[in-house]
Amino acid sequence: MTALTGLSIAAVRDGLAERDFTALELAREHLRSIEKARHLNAFITETPEIALARAKESDARRAKGKALGPMDGVPIAIKDLFCTASVPTTAGSHILDGFTPTYESTVTAKLKAAGAVMLGKTNMDEFAMGSSNMTSYHGPVKNPWRPKGREKRDKNLVPGGSSGGSAAAVAAGLAPAAIGTDTGGSIRQPASFCGIVGMKPTYGRCSRWGIVAFASSLDQAGPFARSVEDTAILLAAMAGHDPKDSTSAPVAVPDFQAALKKSAKGLKVGIPKEYTMDGMPAAIDALWKRGVAWMQAQGAECREVSLPHTAYALPTYYIVAPAEASSNLARYDGVRFGLRVDEGGTLDEMYAATRGEGFGAEVRRRVLIGTYVLSAGYYDAYYLKAQKVRALIAEDFRKAFEAVDVLLTPTAPSAAFAIGDKMDDPVAMYLNDVFTVPASLAGLPAISLPAGLDADGLPLGLHLIAKPFDEETLFRAAAALEEACSFDAHPPGFGGSP
Protein backbone atom coordinates (compact mmCIF):
# COMPACT_ATOMS: atom_id res chain seq x y z
CA MET A 1 0.00 0.00 0.00
CA THR A 2 1.26 3.50 -0.87
CA ALA A 3 1.73 6.06 1.88
CA LEU A 4 -1.78 7.40 2.26
CA THR A 5 -0.52 10.53 3.91
CA GLY A 6 1.23 11.86 0.84
CA LEU A 7 -1.76 11.71 -1.46
CA SER A 8 -3.43 14.64 -3.10
CA ILE A 9 -7.19 15.18 -2.90
CA ALA A 10 -7.43 14.09 -6.51
CA ALA A 11 -5.52 10.88 -5.73
CA VAL A 12 -7.61 10.26 -2.62
CA ARG A 13 -10.79 10.81 -4.62
CA ASP A 14 -9.67 8.33 -7.26
CA GLY A 15 -8.30 5.81 -4.77
CA LEU A 16 -11.54 5.81 -2.79
CA ALA A 17 -13.56 5.45 -5.96
CA GLU A 18 -11.36 2.52 -7.03
CA ARG A 19 -11.65 1.00 -3.53
CA ASP A 20 -7.84 1.07 -3.25
CA PHE A 21 -8.31 2.11 0.37
CA THR A 22 -11.09 3.24 2.63
CA ALA A 23 -11.84 6.59 4.16
CA LEU A 24 -11.32 4.99 7.56
CA GLU A 25 -7.81 3.86 6.60
CA LEU A 26 -7.08 7.35 5.32
CA ALA A 27 -8.34 8.96 8.51
CA ARG A 28 -6.35 6.57 10.70
CA GLU A 29 -3.14 7.15 8.75
CA HIS A 30 -3.52 10.90 8.97
CA LEU A 31 -4.39 10.81 12.66
CA ARG A 32 -1.25 8.75 13.22
CA SER A 33 0.88 11.27 11.35
CA ILE A 34 -0.68 14.09 13.36
CA GLU A 35 0.22 12.26 16.56
CA LYS A 36 3.80 11.75 15.37
CA ALA A 37 4.14 15.40 14.40
CA ARG A 38 2.80 16.92 17.60
CA HIS A 39 6.13 18.71 18.05
CA LEU A 40 5.05 20.97 15.18
CA ASN A 41 2.14 22.22 17.34
CA ALA A 42 0.05 22.49 14.18
CA PHE A 43 -3.18 21.56 15.92
CA ILE A 44 -4.90 23.19 18.88
CA THR A 45 -7.58 20.51 19.06
CA GLU A 46 -7.36 17.09 17.44
CA THR A 47 -10.72 15.50 16.72
CA PRO A 48 -10.01 11.79 16.18
CA GLU A 49 -13.46 10.60 17.24
CA ILE A 50 -15.14 12.92 14.76
CA ALA A 51 -12.64 11.95 12.06
CA LEU A 52 -13.19 8.23 12.53
CA ALA A 53 -16.96 8.56 12.75
CA ARG A 54 -17.17 10.66 9.60
CA ALA A 55 -14.78 8.35 7.77
CA LYS A 56 -16.98 5.39 8.66
CA GLU A 57 -20.06 7.25 7.46
CA SER A 58 -18.27 8.05 4.24
CA ASP A 59 -17.33 4.41 3.69
CA ALA A 60 -20.90 3.38 4.43
CA ARG A 61 -22.23 5.85 1.87
CA ARG A 62 -19.77 4.65 -0.71
CA ALA A 63 -20.64 1.01 -0.03
CA LYS A 64 -24.25 1.87 -0.81
CA GLY A 65 -23.16 3.64 -3.99
CA LYS A 66 -24.10 6.96 -2.51
CA ALA A 67 -20.76 8.74 -2.36
CA LEU A 68 -21.27 12.48 -2.23
CA GLY A 69 -18.58 13.79 -4.57
CA PRO A 70 -14.87 14.51 -4.74
CA MET A 71 -14.57 15.56 -1.07
CA ASP A 72 -16.36 12.52 0.36
CA GLY A 73 -13.94 10.81 2.70
CA VAL A 74 -11.15 13.37 2.23
CA PRO A 75 -9.45 14.27 5.52
CA ILE A 76 -9.03 17.97 6.14
CA ALA A 77 -7.70 20.26 8.82
CA ILE A 78 -9.74 23.28 9.92
CA LYS A 79 -8.28 26.57 11.10
CA ASP A 80 -9.46 27.18 14.64
CA LEU A 81 -11.18 30.36 13.54
CA PHE A 82 -14.12 28.41 12.10
CA CYS A 83 -16.81 27.70 14.67
CA THR A 84 -17.44 23.98 14.84
CA ALA A 85 -20.43 22.60 16.72
CA SER A 86 -19.47 20.83 19.95
CA VAL A 87 -15.75 21.26 19.24
CA PRO A 88 -13.89 23.98 21.17
CA THR A 89 -13.08 26.99 19.04
CA THR A 90 -10.31 29.26 20.32
CA ALA A 91 -9.29 31.64 17.52
CA GLY A 92 -5.84 31.09 19.04
CA SER A 93 -6.84 33.25 21.98
CA HIS A 94 -6.90 32.85 25.74
CA ILE A 95 -10.08 34.89 25.85
CA LEU A 96 -12.09 32.10 24.21
CA ASP A 97 -11.09 29.59 26.88
CA GLY A 98 -13.87 27.11 27.35
CA PHE A 99 -15.89 28.32 24.38
CA THR A 100 -17.55 25.50 22.48
CA PRO A 101 -19.95 26.70 19.79
CA THR A 102 -23.40 25.19 19.44
CA TYR A 103 -23.27 26.02 15.76
CA GLU A 104 -21.23 25.13 12.69
CA SER A 105 -19.82 27.75 10.32
CA THR A 106 -21.33 27.73 6.85
CA VAL A 107 -18.03 26.74 5.22
CA THR A 108 -17.35 23.82 7.56
CA ALA A 109 -21.01 22.78 7.35
CA LYS A 110 -20.71 22.67 3.57
CA LEU A 111 -17.55 20.61 3.83
CA LYS A 112 -19.22 18.26 6.27
CA ALA A 113 -22.17 17.96 3.93
CA ALA A 114 -19.73 17.15 1.12
CA GLY A 115 -18.39 14.25 3.21
CA ALA A 116 -15.06 15.79 4.23
CA VAL A 117 -13.48 14.27 7.34
CA MET A 118 -12.38 16.82 9.96
CA LEU A 119 -9.10 15.81 11.58
CA GLY A 120 -8.84 18.72 13.97
CA LYS A 121 -8.62 22.44 14.51
CA THR A 122 -5.34 24.06 13.54
CA ASN A 123 -3.20 26.54 15.38
CA MET A 124 -3.16 30.14 14.28
CA ASP A 125 -2.14 33.65 15.21
CA GLU A 126 -4.49 35.01 17.84
CA PHE A 127 -7.67 36.25 16.13
CA ALA A 128 -5.78 35.81 12.84
CA MET A 129 -3.56 38.76 13.71
CA GLY A 130 -0.04 37.88 12.75
CA SER A 131 2.28 36.70 10.01
CA SER A 132 4.33 34.17 11.95
CA ASN A 133 1.93 32.18 14.13
CA MET A 134 3.88 33.61 17.05
CA THR A 135 0.87 35.40 18.54
CA SER A 136 -1.08 32.21 19.27
CA TYR A 137 -1.96 31.70 22.93
CA HIS A 138 -1.38 28.02 22.25
CA GLY A 139 2.25 28.55 21.32
CA PRO A 140 4.06 28.92 17.99
CA VAL A 141 3.74 26.40 15.17
CA LYS A 142 6.98 25.04 13.77
CA ASN A 143 7.48 25.09 10.06
CA PRO A 144 8.27 21.50 8.95
CA TRP A 145 10.94 22.91 6.60
CA ARG A 146 14.49 23.29 7.95
CA PRO A 147 17.41 25.14 6.33
CA LYS A 148 19.38 22.68 4.26
CA GLY A 149 22.50 21.40 5.99
CA ARG A 150 21.65 23.16 9.25
CA GLU A 151 18.62 21.06 10.18
CA LYS A 152 19.90 20.24 13.63
CA ARG A 153 21.64 23.46 14.45
CA ASP A 154 19.30 26.22 13.54
CA LYS A 155 16.25 27.37 15.38
CA ASN A 156 12.96 26.22 14.00
CA LEU A 157 11.29 28.41 11.40
CA VAL A 158 7.88 30.01 11.55
CA PRO A 159 5.21 28.64 9.21
CA GLY A 160 3.92 32.14 8.49
CA GLY A 161 0.55 33.31 9.59
CA SER A 162 -2.04 33.66 10.51
CA SER A 163 -3.16 30.26 9.16
CA GLY A 164 0.20 28.76 10.13
CA GLY A 165 -1.15 25.53 11.60
CA SER A 166 -3.17 24.72 8.48
CA ALA A 167 -0.19 25.42 6.21
CA ALA A 168 2.24 23.42 8.33
CA ALA A 169 -0.19 20.49 8.54
CA VAL A 170 -0.57 20.27 4.78
CA ALA A 171 3.15 20.77 4.17
CA ALA A 172 4.04 18.04 6.66
CA GLY A 173 1.54 15.61 5.18
CA LEU A 174 -0.71 15.61 8.22
CA ALA A 175 -3.66 16.36 5.96
CA PRO A 176 -4.03 16.43 2.20
CA ALA A 177 -5.74 19.79 2.51
CA ALA A 178 -6.82 22.37 5.02
CA ILE A 179 -8.89 25.49 5.20
CA GLY A 180 -7.78 28.85 6.46
CA THR A 181 -8.79 32.45 6.31
CA ASP A 182 -7.03 35.32 4.63
CA THR A 183 -7.46 38.94 5.72
CA GLY A 184 -4.24 40.47 4.41
CA GLY A 185 -2.29 37.40 3.36
CA SER A 186 -3.06 34.88 6.08
CA ILE A 187 -3.46 32.01 3.61
CA ARG A 188 -1.01 33.02 0.89
CA GLN A 189 1.99 33.99 3.02
CA PRO A 190 2.02 30.76 5.10
CA ALA A 191 1.46 28.75 1.91
CA SER A 192 4.59 30.41 0.51
CA PHE A 193 6.56 29.78 3.72
CA CYS A 194 5.49 26.12 3.82
CA GLY A 195 5.88 25.29 0.13
CA ILE A 196 2.22 24.54 -0.62
CA VAL A 197 -0.64 26.10 -2.55
CA GLY A 198 -2.87 28.57 -0.73
CA MET A 199 -5.74 30.43 -2.27
CA LYS A 200 -7.83 33.41 -1.22
CA PRO A 201 -11.09 33.64 -3.16
CA THR A 202 -12.86 36.85 -4.12
CA TYR A 203 -14.35 38.62 -1.11
CA GLY A 204 -17.91 37.32 -0.96
CA ARG A 205 -17.20 33.97 -2.65
CA CYS A 206 -17.33 32.04 0.65
CA SER A 207 -19.65 32.77 3.53
CA ARG A 208 -18.15 34.37 6.61
CA TRP A 209 -21.00 33.10 8.81
CA GLY A 210 -19.53 31.26 11.77
CA ILE A 211 -15.97 32.44 11.24
CA VAL A 212 -14.68 34.40 14.22
CA ALA A 213 -14.34 37.88 12.73
CA PHE A 214 -11.07 39.77 12.52
CA ALA A 215 -11.70 42.45 9.87
CA SER A 216 -15.10 41.88 8.31
CA SER A 217 -14.52 43.75 5.05
CA LEU A 218 -11.38 41.70 4.35
CA ASP A 219 -11.82 38.24 5.94
CA GLN A 220 -12.27 35.44 3.46
CA ALA A 221 -12.04 31.67 3.82
CA GLY A 222 -9.90 29.71 1.40
CA PRO A 223 -8.21 26.37 0.72
CA PHE A 224 -4.69 25.03 1.31
CA ALA A 225 -3.45 21.99 -0.57
CA ARG A 226 -0.38 20.62 -2.28
CA SER A 227 -1.61 21.26 -5.83
CA VAL A 228 -3.59 23.87 -7.68
CA GLU A 229 -6.10 21.24 -8.71
CA ASP A 230 -6.68 20.27 -5.09
CA THR A 231 -7.37 23.87 -4.07
CA ALA A 232 -9.88 24.08 -6.92
CA ILE A 233 -11.64 20.92 -5.73
CA LEU A 234 -11.71 22.11 -2.13
CA LEU A 235 -12.87 25.64 -2.97
CA ALA A 236 -15.80 24.25 -4.97
CA ALA A 237 -17.00 22.55 -1.78
CA MET A 238 -16.57 25.71 0.32
CA ALA A 239 -17.97 28.41 -1.94
CA GLY A 240 -21.47 29.66 -2.59
CA HIS A 241 -23.95 32.32 -1.62
CA ASP A 242 -25.19 32.28 1.96
CA PRO A 243 -28.23 34.36 2.94
CA LYS A 244 -26.85 34.44 6.49
CA ASP A 245 -23.90 36.57 5.34
CA SER A 246 -25.08 39.82 3.75
CA THR A 247 -21.66 40.31 2.15
CA SER A 248 -21.60 36.89 0.49
CA ALA A 249 -22.19 37.28 -3.22
CA PRO A 250 -25.29 35.84 -4.87
CA VAL A 251 -23.30 34.40 -7.75
CA ALA A 252 -23.11 30.83 -9.02
CA VAL A 253 -20.03 28.72 -8.29
CA PRO A 254 -18.37 27.90 -11.62
CA ASP A 255 -16.64 24.65 -12.49
CA PHE A 256 -13.15 25.51 -11.24
CA GLN A 257 -11.67 22.19 -12.30
CA ALA A 258 -12.74 22.69 -15.88
CA ALA A 259 -10.78 25.95 -15.90
CA LEU A 260 -7.58 24.07 -15.02
CA LYS A 261 -7.67 22.20 -18.25
CA LYS A 262 -7.53 25.34 -20.39
CA SER A 263 -4.11 26.24 -21.72
CA ALA A 264 -2.46 29.50 -20.76
CA LYS A 265 -1.91 30.30 -24.39
CA GLY A 266 -2.84 33.90 -25.08
CA LEU A 267 -3.33 34.68 -21.40
CA LYS A 268 -2.23 38.22 -20.64
CA VAL A 269 -0.13 38.43 -17.50
CA GLY A 270 0.61 41.77 -15.88
CA ILE A 271 3.81 42.38 -13.94
CA PRO A 272 3.18 45.31 -11.57
CA LYS A 273 6.28 47.47 -11.59
CA GLU A 274 5.56 48.92 -8.14
CA TYR A 275 6.07 45.47 -6.59
CA THR A 276 9.81 45.75 -7.07
CA MET A 277 10.94 46.63 -3.58
CA ASP A 278 14.20 48.01 -2.30
CA GLY A 279 16.10 45.38 -0.38
CA MET A 280 14.12 42.49 -1.83
CA PRO A 281 16.21 39.30 -1.56
CA ALA A 282 17.85 38.39 -4.85
CA ALA A 283 16.38 34.91 -4.72
CA ILE A 284 12.87 36.33 -4.70
CA ASP A 285 13.54 38.72 -7.52
CA ALA A 286 15.13 35.94 -9.53
CA LEU A 287 12.18 33.64 -8.90
CA TRP A 288 9.77 36.34 -9.99
CA LYS A 289 11.71 36.75 -13.27
CA ARG A 290 11.69 33.00 -13.73
CA GLY A 291 7.94 33.09 -13.18
CA VAL A 292 7.60 35.53 -16.07
CA ALA A 293 9.65 33.22 -18.28
CA TRP A 294 7.61 30.19 -17.21
CA MET A 295 4.36 31.92 -18.07
CA GLN A 296 5.77 32.96 -21.44
CA ALA A 297 6.91 29.40 -22.06
CA GLN A 298 3.29 28.35 -21.45
CA GLY A 299 2.14 30.72 -24.16
CA ALA A 300 1.13 33.65 -22.02
CA GLU A 301 1.96 37.25 -22.88
CA CYS A 302 3.61 39.13 -20.05
CA ARG A 303 3.69 42.90 -19.84
CA GLU A 304 4.47 45.49 -17.25
CA VAL A 305 1.52 47.22 -15.62
CA SER A 306 1.31 50.00 -13.08
CA LEU A 307 -0.55 49.96 -9.78
CA PRO A 308 0.43 53.45 -8.63
CA HIS A 309 -1.07 53.34 -5.13
CA THR A 310 0.66 50.11 -4.11
CA ALA A 311 2.93 51.88 -1.63
CA TYR A 312 -0.10 53.00 0.37
CA ALA A 313 -1.65 49.54 0.62
CA LEU A 314 0.13 48.38 3.77
CA PRO A 315 -0.56 51.55 5.83
CA THR A 316 -4.14 51.55 4.57
CA TYR A 317 -4.55 47.93 5.61
CA TYR A 318 -3.10 48.63 9.05
CA ILE A 319 -5.77 51.28 9.58
CA VAL A 320 -8.81 49.53 8.11
CA ALA A 321 -8.19 46.09 9.58
CA PRO A 322 -7.48 47.23 13.18
CA ALA A 323 -10.42 49.66 13.04
CA GLU A 324 -12.83 46.85 12.22
CA ALA A 325 -11.09 44.51 14.65
CA SER A 326 -11.38 46.98 17.53
CA SER A 327 -15.15 46.86 17.09
CA ASN A 328 -15.43 43.16 16.22
CA LEU A 329 -13.50 42.20 19.34
CA ALA A 330 -15.63 44.32 21.67
CA ARG A 331 -17.91 41.33 22.27
CA TYR A 332 -15.14 39.53 24.14
CA ASP A 333 -16.04 41.20 27.40
CA GLY A 334 -16.23 38.28 29.80
CA VAL A 335 -20.00 38.61 30.13
CA ARG A 336 -21.44 35.78 28.06
CA PHE A 337 -18.73 33.29 27.04
CA GLY A 338 -15.04 32.55 27.25
CA LEU A 339 -12.68 33.91 29.86
CA ARG A 340 -13.83 36.17 32.70
CA VAL A 341 -11.33 37.73 35.06
CA ASP A 342 -13.33 39.18 37.92
CA GLU A 343 -11.45 40.39 40.96
CA GLY A 344 -14.59 41.65 42.63
CA GLY A 345 -14.25 45.21 41.35
CA THR A 346 -16.52 47.28 39.18
CA LEU A 347 -17.90 46.28 35.83
CA ASP A 348 -15.29 48.38 34.01
CA GLU A 349 -12.55 46.71 36.04
CA MET A 350 -13.91 43.30 35.05
CA TYR A 351 -13.84 44.32 31.38
CA ALA A 352 -10.29 45.64 31.69
CA ALA A 353 -9.00 42.61 33.61
CA THR A 354 -10.67 40.12 31.24
CA ARG A 355 -9.50 41.81 28.08
CA GLY A 356 -6.07 42.66 29.47
CA GLU A 357 -5.42 39.06 30.40
CA GLY A 358 -7.44 37.41 27.62
CA PHE A 359 -5.87 39.22 24.68
CA GLY A 360 -2.21 38.89 23.77
CA ALA A 361 0.11 41.81 23.00
CA GLU A 362 -0.50 41.91 19.24
CA VAL A 363 -4.29 41.84 19.61
CA ARG A 364 -4.12 44.56 22.26
CA ARG A 365 -1.91 46.62 19.96
CA ARG A 366 -4.36 46.35 17.07
CA VAL A 367 -7.40 47.05 19.23
CA LEU A 368 -5.64 50.20 20.46
CA ILE A 369 -4.65 51.26 16.93
CA GLY A 370 -8.19 50.59 15.71
CA THR A 371 -9.77 52.51 18.57
CA TYR A 372 -7.42 55.40 17.93
CA VAL A 373 -8.07 55.68 14.19
CA LEU A 374 -11.83 55.72 14.75
CA SER A 375 -11.72 58.29 17.54
CA ALA A 376 -13.22 61.74 17.29
CA GLY A 377 -10.64 64.05 15.80
CA TYR A 378 -8.67 61.25 14.11
CA TYR A 379 -11.39 59.53 12.10
CA ASP A 380 -11.07 61.77 9.04
CA ALA A 381 -7.30 61.75 9.01
CA TYR A 382 -7.00 57.99 9.36
CA TYR A 383 -10.06 55.84 8.82
CA LEU A 384 -11.80 58.00 6.24
CA LYS A 385 -8.58 58.65 4.35
CA ALA A 386 -7.75 54.94 4.41
CA GLN A 387 -11.17 54.18 2.92
CA LYS A 388 -10.47 56.65 0.12
CA VAL A 389 -7.05 55.17 -0.56
CA ARG A 390 -8.62 51.71 -0.52
CA ALA A 391 -10.95 52.82 -3.30
CA LEU A 392 -7.96 54.14 -5.27
CA ILE A 393 -6.15 50.83 -4.87
CA ALA A 394 -9.19 48.94 -6.15
CA GLU A 395 -9.33 51.40 -9.05
CA ASP A 396 -5.65 50.70 -9.85
CA PHE A 397 -6.47 47.02 -10.20
CA ARG A 398 -9.61 47.70 -12.23
CA LYS A 399 -7.58 49.71 -14.72
CA ALA A 400 -4.77 47.15 -14.86
CA PHE A 401 -7.30 44.42 -15.58
CA GLU A 402 -8.49 46.32 -18.64
CA ALA A 403 -5.18 45.28 -20.21
CA VAL A 404 -4.34 41.95 -18.55
CA ASP A 405 -6.10 38.84 -17.22
CA VAL A 406 -3.94 38.13 -14.19
CA LEU A 407 -1.10 39.71 -12.27
CA LEU A 408 2.07 37.90 -11.24
CA THR A 409 4.03 38.95 -8.14
CA PRO A 410 6.06 37.31 -5.39
CA THR A 411 3.94 36.13 -2.45
CA ALA A 412 6.18 37.31 0.36
CA PRO A 413 9.36 39.38 0.59
CA SER A 414 11.32 36.55 2.20
CA ALA A 415 11.39 32.84 2.90
CA ALA A 416 10.30 31.58 6.32
CA PHE A 417 12.27 33.20 9.14
CA ALA A 418 13.32 31.81 12.49
CA ILE A 419 10.93 31.60 15.40
CA GLY A 420 11.49 34.68 17.52
CA ASP A 421 12.69 36.91 14.66
CA LYS A 422 10.96 40.25 14.06
CA MET A 423 9.10 39.95 17.35
CA ASP A 424 10.46 43.24 18.63
CA ASP A 425 9.61 45.11 15.42
CA PRO A 426 5.94 44.98 14.49
CA VAL A 427 6.46 47.02 11.33
CA ALA A 428 9.05 44.55 10.02
CA MET A 429 6.51 41.81 10.78
CA TYR A 430 3.76 43.70 8.95
CA LEU A 431 6.00 43.96 5.87
CA ASN A 432 5.48 40.22 5.34
CA ASP A 433 2.11 41.09 3.85
CA VAL A 434 3.32 43.78 1.47
CA PHE A 435 2.54 41.78 -1.68
CA THR A 436 -0.64 40.14 -0.48
CA VAL A 437 -2.43 43.09 1.15
CA PRO A 438 -3.29 45.07 -2.01
CA ALA A 439 -5.42 42.24 -3.43
CA SER A 440 -7.09 41.89 -0.03
CA LEU A 441 -8.03 45.56 0.04
CA ALA A 442 -9.48 45.24 -3.46
CA GLY A 443 -11.30 42.00 -2.58
CA LEU A 444 -9.62 40.13 -5.43
CA PRO A 445 -9.00 36.40 -5.75
CA ALA A 446 -5.33 35.45 -5.44
CA ILE A 447 -3.26 32.33 -5.12
CA SER A 448 0.22 31.49 -3.91
CA LEU A 449 2.00 28.43 -5.26
CA PRO A 450 5.42 27.07 -4.46
CA ALA A 451 7.78 27.87 -7.32
CA GLY A 452 11.27 27.26 -6.06
CA LEU A 453 13.72 26.95 -3.20
CA ASP A 454 16.15 29.54 -1.97
CA ALA A 455 19.82 28.91 -1.22
CA ASP A 456 18.87 27.38 2.14
CA GLY A 457 16.50 25.01 0.43
CA LEU A 458 13.46 26.85 1.75
CA PRO A 459 10.36 27.21 -0.40
CA LEU A 460 9.37 30.47 -2.07
CA GLY A 461 6.00 31.23 -3.53
CA LEU A 462 4.72 33.10 -6.53
CA HIS A 463 1.47 34.96 -6.36
CA LEU A 464 -1.24 35.42 -8.98
CA ILE A 465 -4.12 37.89 -8.71
CA ALA A 466 -7.25 37.94 -10.89
CA LYS A 467 -10.40 40.00 -11.40
CA PRO A 468 -13.27 39.77 -8.93
CA PHE A 469 -15.10 36.44 -9.26
CA ASP A 470 -12.73 35.31 -11.99
CA GLU A 471 -11.25 32.41 -10.02
CA GLU A 472 -11.43 30.38 -13.22
CA THR A 473 -8.76 32.49 -14.91
CA LEU A 474 -6.77 32.49 -11.68
CA PHE A 475 -6.80 28.67 -11.55
CA ARG A 476 -6.04 28.44 -15.24
CA ALA A 477 -2.96 30.65 -14.88
CA ALA A 478 -1.91 28.91 -11.66
CA ALA A 479 -2.15 25.47 -13.23
CA ALA A 480 0.04 26.63 -16.11
CA LEU A 481 2.61 28.14 -13.75
CA GLU A 482 2.55 25.04 -11.55
CA GLU A 483 3.20 22.83 -14.53
CA ALA A 484 6.04 25.03 -15.72
CA CYS A 485 7.90 25.26 -12.42
CA SER A 486 7.26 21.62 -11.52
CA PHE A 487 7.94 22.13 -7.84
CA ASP A 488 8.00 18.76 -6.08
CA ALA A 489 10.01 19.33 -2.91
CA HIS A 490 8.77 18.29 0.51
CA PRO A 491 10.04 19.07 3.97
CA PRO A 492 11.85 16.39 5.98
CA GLY A 493 9.49 13.92 7.62
CA PHE A 494 6.79 14.54 5.03
CA GLY A 495 3.89 12.15 5.39
CA GLY A 496 5.69 10.13 8.01
CA SER A 497 8.83 9.65 5.93
CA PRO A 498 12.03 9.52 8.01
Partner 1 sequence: MSYLVKGERGDWEAVVGLEVHAQIVSNAKLFSGAATQFGAAPNTQVSLVDAAMPGMLPVLNGHCVAQAVRTGLGLKAKINTRSVFERKNYFYPDLPHGYQISQYSQPIVGEGAVLLDMADGSTRTIGIERLHMEQDAGKSLHDQDPNRTFIDLNRAGVALMEIVSRPDIRSPEEAGLYLRKLRSILRYLGTCDGNMEEGSMRADVNVSVRPKGSNELRTRAEVKNVNSVRFVMQAIEAEAARQVAVYDAGGQVTQETRLYDSDAGETRPMRIKEFAHDYRYFPDPDLLPLVLTDEYIRKIEADLPELPDAKKQRFIADYGLSPYDAQVLAAERETANYFERVAKGRDAKQAANWVTGVLFAHVNETGKSIDASPIGPEALGQLLDLINAGTISGRIAKEVFADMAATGKPAKDIVAARGLTQISDAGAIEVAVDKVIAANPKQAADVRAGKAKTIGWLVGQVMKATGGKANPQMVNELLKRKLGG
Judged by the rule CB under 8 A, the positions of this chain that interact with partner 1 are 82-83, 89, 91, 96, 99, 101-103, 105, 208-213, 215-217, 243-247, 323-324, 326-327, 329-331, 333, 335-337, 347-348, 351, 371, 374-376, 379, 383
Measured at the CA of 92, the angle between CA 90 and CA 97, to 5 degrees, comes to 40
Least Å distance, CB 249 to partner 1, is 10
Could you say which DSSP state residue 2 is in? -
Q: Quick one: 211 or 267, whose CB is closer to partner 1?
A: 211
Helix pair 313-328, 361-373: axis angle to 10 deg: 100
**67 vs 319, which CB is nearer to partner 1?**
319
Amino acid identity at 397:
F
How far apart CA 87 and CA 101 sit, in angstroms, is 7
Q: Report the nearest approach of partner 1 to the CB of residue 82 (Å).
A: 8
Cβ within 8 Å of residue 99, ≥6 positions away: 88, 89, 90, 337, 338
Q: Are 300 and 262 in contact (CB under 8 A)?
A: no
Q: By C-beta, is 239 or 449 nearer to partner 1?
A: 239
Output the smallest distance, CB 408 to partner 1, in A. 30
Contact 195, 491 (CB under 8 A): yes
| Residue 55: CB minimum distance to partner 1, A | 26
Half-sphere exposure of 194 (CA within 13 A, CB side): 42
**Dist CA 467 CA 67 (whole Å):** 34
Quote the least distance from Cβ 443 to partner 1, whole Å: 12
The DSSP element (H or E) to which 316 belongs, if any, is: helix 313-328
How far apart CA 37 and CA 23 sit, in angstroms, is 21
DSSP, res 253: -
How far apart are CB 272 and partner 1 at their closest, in Å? Answer: 26
Mapped onto helix, strand or coil, the DSSP state of residue 466 is strand
Which contiguous run of DSSP H or E holds residue 225? strand 220-225
430-435 contacts, C-beta under 8 A, 24 or more apart = 430/131, 430/314, 430/318, 431/314, 432/131, 432/132, 432/160, 432/185, 432/189, 433/131, 433/184, 433/185, 433/189, 433/314, 433/317, 434/277, 434/313, 434/314, 435/185, 435/275, 435/409, 435/410, 435/411, 435/463
- Minimum CB distance to partner 1 smaller for 170 or for 321: 321
How many whole angstroms separate alpha carbon 132 and alpha carbon 119? 23
What is the nearest approach in angstroms of partner 1 to the Cβ of residue 390?
A: 12
CB of 31 to partner 1, least distance (A): 27
Just list the catalytic residues. 79, 162, 186
List, in order, residues 6 or more apart from 404 with CB less than 8 Å away.
268, 269, 270, 303, 305
